[in-house]
Amino acid sequence: MKRSPFSLRDGGDPPRRALSLALAGIAAIVGHGTARSGDACTAASTRLVAPVVELYTSEGCNSCPPADRWVSKLKADPAVVALAFHVDYWDRLGWKDRFASAAFTARQAGQQASNGARFSYTPQVVVDGRDRTDWSRATVPALARPAAAVDVALAHQGDRFVATVTPATGAPQRLAAYWAVTEQGHVTAVRAGENEGVTLHHDFVVRDYEPVPAWTTRVGAAQTLSFKPVTAADAAHPRSVNLVVVDAATGRPVQAVKVAC
């Protein structure tokens, strides 16, 4: 684990926590939150909360390639919503990451209050809103999934993506959300910095990111969210449009869906 060279908060490494993985548990959620059969541009959540994995990484960090490879393995599990946020605080050390964004750096810093991390660092893996320093020992985040208290339906309509978020009994009093467009199969030959001479392979690269302000919920009262991607679809790098709905008070995901179109 490597700290940011421009750490937003200093401190020691977070304590490691044991991660118990049961591959059989993933069978109960395969297909959860993914596109319906025969329609890749429509998705609906089911009765369990989809697993959400966020990676904070950088092409300028030589500790990050193993985490990039670990996240790429999640392509084997369609239930997982995986998001690789490339931060920009390594860009001043010799190599500018073409996928990096100050917005992703700000998101990482903003999540510290709720995910348990004491400072910003790379690579950082956050599973279901919790900092996981033990990610390297995991194959997939196949922890037991809680029952969902929020239903989400997502569809591609013209040049926009429209989602309906419906709270059920037990839903948080206030929800928030964020949209993220991810792309697969990017390759970068790094010519400077800590990874000079290394060819990096990236999946789940976040290209567009848009937070949704919090709103007050009422059981059964649907909220409609709309999103227009900025980055055009590229056949060479298959994309997914992801919507993650969170508890506005804690920042923890309560449901997530994605469509590949």
By C-alpha distance, which of 256, 259, 260 is closest to 129?
Answer: 256
Q: How far apart are CA 73 and CA 65, in angstroms?
A: 13
pLDDT digits 0-9 by tens, 167-185: 999 999 999 999 999 999 9
- pLDDT-above-90 percentage for the chain: 77
Supply the pLDDT for residue 145.
80
Domain positions in the chain: 32-259
Supply the pLDDT for residue 40.
65
Token pair recorded at residue 163: 């989602």
- Count of other CB atoms within 10 angstroms of residue 17: 11
> CB of 122 within 8 A of CB of 19?
no
Residue 49 has pLDDT above 60, yes or no: yes
Supply the pLDDT for residue 142.
57
> CB of 89 within 8 A of CB of 105?
yes
Q: How far apart are CA 201 and CA 185, in angstroms?
A: 7
Q: How far apart are CA 4 and CA 87, in angstroms?
A: 10
Q: Which residue, chain included where needed, has tokens 């750096």? A: 105
What's the mean pLDDT in 176-203? 98
Q: Which residue, chain included where needed, has tokens 């009093």? A: 173
Token pair recorded at residue 68: 């990039």
- Place 2 in a pLDDT band, splitting at 50, 70 and 90: low
Supply the pLDDT for residue 80.
93
Beta strands 81-86 and 199-202 are unpaired
Fold of the CATH domain 32-259: Immunoglobulin-like (2.60.40)
- Place 46 in a pLDDT band, splitting at 50, 70 and 90: confident
pLDDT, averaged across the chain: 86
- Of 65 and 136, the structure prediction assigns the larger pLDDT to 65
- Place 32 in a pLDDT band, splitting at 50, 70 and 90: very low
Residue 9 has pLDDT above 60, yes or no: no
Amino acid at 226: S
